[in-house]
Chains A and B, each alone.
Chain A
Amino acid sequence: MDKMNVKKILSVITNQRAVLAIVITLIVVAFNNNNFFTIYNMKTMLTTSSIYLIIGFGATIVLVAGGVDLSIGFNMSVSGVLAVYLMNNNVPISLAVLCALIFGGIVGAINGYIVVYQKTEPFIITLGMGISLLGLGRLITNARPIVAENKAFLNISNGMIFGERLNLIYFTIIMFAVVHYILRYTSFGRNLYAIGGDYEVAEYSGINVRANKFYAFVLSGVIAALGGVLLASKFGTGNANYGLTTGFVIYSAVVVGGTSFAGGIGSVPRSAIGLIFVYGVLQNAMNMLRVNSYTQMVMTGIIIATVIALDSYSRKRIREKV
């Protein structure tokens, strides 16, 4: 039995290109900076990446089912804007947050309806949705960040429990558990794997492929909105421009973790590692090494292109197996 487990762990590690990437980055940084391996820095790293982790868990749901929703970035920023806007107009915090989550779900539902029921390619559709959302966000805020007047709102992300400001990390852990449970143990989650793995077999097996995939989009939308609320609470402002690159980067990070564009493969823990690498370790390491923001941009771009290229390259190798 022990042997089996060791084997399993080994195969998990070999499958995890992200683990390798993290280790390499850590080694490089360790030689150049002493502050990297401090508890404080670890906390910072987790806190900065927490919101993107949460949204990435949602993206994993859609990706596993063989879909993509590139509008999650703007869904995030606009939901945050909406929550702040409503609060500033005397809507109670809880209701405002609820409205934001519902809004996120509606956006996901529209994407899901057009992609799943109207059989369109998700990429450009959700890209278009992103532009519309950006416009909507700027319309609400007049293209300026809006500050939350009710300071209690800031407690959602910055409040103290057990004497430390770790709310965002708690949220991340909760969402990790929830989404992991959904994907791993519920019949809805397992059906999504079947749909992403082989759409036709899933359909022949009596799974309601359309409804399940549709709900994956809705769920991902709600989770993106949750991320947006947390982000707005963290900074105390709603800003329509927050999500400019988020959609692409999150999906790339999820693929780094080992979830494939082909669908049917992937899990929340894997995505978490990919997301921590891109949003936590890499970002933090570049800051530590005083890489300027433009070089960081170049690095991010190259990483996205390389990750996706390697993902398709591995599939090409399988296709051409001689």
Chain B
Amino acid sequence: MDNKNNNIILSIQDVEKSFPGVKALDQVSIEIERGEVHGLVGENGAGKSTLMKILSGVLKKDAGTIIFDGAVVHHTSPVESQRMGMSIIYQELNLVHTMSVGENVFLGRFKEMGGMRGTHTKAKTLLDSIGANLDTYQLVDELSVSEKQMVEIAKALSFESKLIIMDEPSSSLTQDEMDKLIAVIKQLKEKGITIIYISHKLDEIFELCNRVTIMRDGHVIDTQLTTDITRNEMIAKMVGRTIENEFPERPKCDGEVLLEVKSLNTHKLKNVSFELRKGEILGFVGLVGAGRTEIVRAIFGADQVKGHEILIDGKVVKIKNPKDAMNAGLALVTEDRKQQGLVLSFTVEKNVSMASLDRLSKFGILNKSKEKDMAQRQVKGLNVKTPTILTKVSSLSGGNQQKVVLGGWLETGPRVLILDEPTRGIDVGAKYEIYLLMKEIAESGGAIILISSELPEVLNMSNRVLTVYEGRITGEFDPLKTTPDHIMRNALGMGEEEQNNDQAN
């Protein structure tokens, strides 16, 4: 018993965490053995990031116990957890870009390191020890992503960490850089440092990890030795089975082409082309940061583009800003409703009318009674739970806020409704209502582009699915005729490799 306990460096027991309307972690228990590389996989929204934030002390857990290196961990700050010997390397790297490499390694600890000179010498030693040949006086801003990662690793080592958690370290690395990172991780492992490795890239999991934990919907589904599980089993467990009644029956679609996008290019997107038919719900599947949001923002004229052509009903339309897009019959429900969708300090009424303001006015004068009618119509039609239309939207729940955004766009009478993560942070009831609404719009001849990190949602609502990976469209699928695993593989950029395998067979 003692021996076993001593072998466990981190024990997570029944940890729970809820956000308003969502249970992010439900009775999560994982044991990490000393000296292993432990993989953690799951779809976006499975709860991995929440768990990491709790471990690092950024978030507070609602219930459960965390034991690290034999001691119970109470709520800490990121610094405290680092000083205990547990470091996290985030996806968005935590470096001050305007400062030098050396200073970033010892940020906030210059004095302990014996001033500037000590800081740089010690940073150099640390970086050399992981084979990163960097000038410690260089600004972090001038480094490549992989070099920044090396700085983060050196920073983690500087705390003499016993456990390093890496959150998708490879998401923006080239193959060469990845090989270097793998070498460093193996080296750390030899030094006896435990690593939790979070990634979507299953190849890496199999190459690096001894064991792997699969999470889904805030639950731990399974923990296995990587030698005991196949890639397909792993994907099946990540995707899971869907509950039948969670989604309404999808509408049938056999209309003509409504929207056509040709060779859309931005600094992030490469040659994106697709078409959308009347009555169709088109799903985009891809990782966060793969370029899904960038595609719809570019179409909507919200970001600058390098060149593209958009046709509606076969006719070319020029879209330079959101207003042009609206005139062309597009509507965009953005992914971040608080930052980009709502004016939080304004009333429900004013938020609903925001996108239709020009139609509500004649000779520049607002028709207030029409505005009121509009708000009341949408509050009633979408079943928004608000005391009155004069309530501030900031006091509504997430689901009702989202309905306010939707209501505002519906009033513009869009022909193409673009929904970016429409159900994020929303309770189940409101989700279903939004699904029904999507169905209704599609059936009445509109078309919908749906972006969602929740795979079941996209697969069950869409007539057709496009996978996006690193700014490109990597595949087109009929969700009724394709398995979720297959679509997921394409979204992870593994589609081509699979084709090769098929051919080999």
Contacts and interface: CB of A to CB of B under 8 A. Distances in A.
Given A201-B107, A207-B108, A264-B96, A322 B78 contact: no
B224 interface: no
Interface residues of A, number: 22
Contacts of A187: 110-111, 115
B133 interface: no
A207 B305 contact: no
Contact of B98 (A186, A191, A197): A197
Interface in B76-120: 77-79, 82, 94-99, 103, 107-111, 115-116
A187 B99 CA distance: 13
B304 interface: yes
A53 to B, nearest CB: 24
Contacts of B78: 204-206
15 contacts: A184-B116, A186-B115, A187-B115, A190-B110, A191-B110, A194-B96, A194-B108, A197-B99, A201-B95, A204-B77, A205-B94, A205-B108, A206-B79, A207-B108, A322-B305
Interface in A287-322: 320-322
B305 A202 contact: no
Interface string B346-386: 00000000000000000000000000000000000000000
Contacts of A320: 304
Q: In this complex, which of A191, A201, A265 has the most chain B Cβ atoms within 10 angstroms of its Cβ?
A: A201
A190 B94 CA distance: 17
A321 B267 CA distance: 8
Question: When A and B form their complex, which 7 residue pairs have the shortest distance between CB atoms, in order from nearest?
Answer: A206-B79, A187-B110, A264-B98, A197-B98, A197-B96, A205-B108, A205-B107
Residues of B contacting A: mostly: loop
A190 B98 contact: no
B contact residues, range:
20 to 34
B306 interface: yes
B110 A204 contact: no
A36 interface: no
A197 B306 CA distance: 31
B266 interface: yes
Contact of B99 (A185, A194, A204, A321): A194
Contacts of A103: none
A185 B107 contact: no
A193 interface: yes
A92 to B, nearest CB: 37
A194 B105 CA distance: 12
Q: Is the interface of A mostly helix, strand, loop or mixed?
A: helix
A194 B107 CA distance: 8
B99 A264 contact: yes
Interface string A177-210: 0000000111100110110111001101111000
Contacts of B115: 185-187
Given A191-B110, A193-B96, A320-B304, 10 more contacts: A190-B116, A194-B96, A196-B98, A198-B98, A204-B58, A206-B77, A206-B78, A206-B82, A206-B108, A322-B267
Interface in A215-253: none
Interface in B187-222: none
A207 B116 contact: no
Contacts, number: 68
B230 to A, nearest CB: 39
A202 B107 contact: yes
Given A187-B115, A194-B107, A322-B266, A204 B96 contact: no
A322 B116 contact: no
A309 to B, nearest CB: 21
Contacts of B103: 190, 193-194
Interface string B247-275: 00000000000000000001100000000
Contacts of A186: 110, 115
A190 B102 CA distance: 12
B2 to A, nearest CB: 34
B49 to A, nearest CB: 16
A194 to B, nearest CB: 5
Contacts of B305: 322
Contacts of B111: 187
A191 B95 CA distance: 13
Nearest to B267: A322
Nearest to B83: A206
Contacts of A322: 266-267, 304-306
Contacts of A197: 96-99
Contacts of A264: 96, 98-99
Contacts of A191: 108, 110
Contacts of A193: 96, 98-99, 103
Contacts of B82: 206
Nearest to A4: B135
A161 B110 CA distance: 39
A187 B116 CA distance: 8
A201 B304 contact: no
Interface string B315-359: 000000000000000000000000000000000000000000000
B267 A201 contact: no
Interface in B295-324: 304-306
Contacts of B58: 204
Contacts of B109: 206
A207 B98 contact: no
Contacts of A207: 107-108
A5 to B, nearest CB: 12
A68 B194 CA distance: 45
Q: Which of B110, B266, B267, B304 has the most CB of A within 10 A?
A: B110
A204 B98 CA distance: 16
Contacts of B108: 191, 194, 202, 205-207
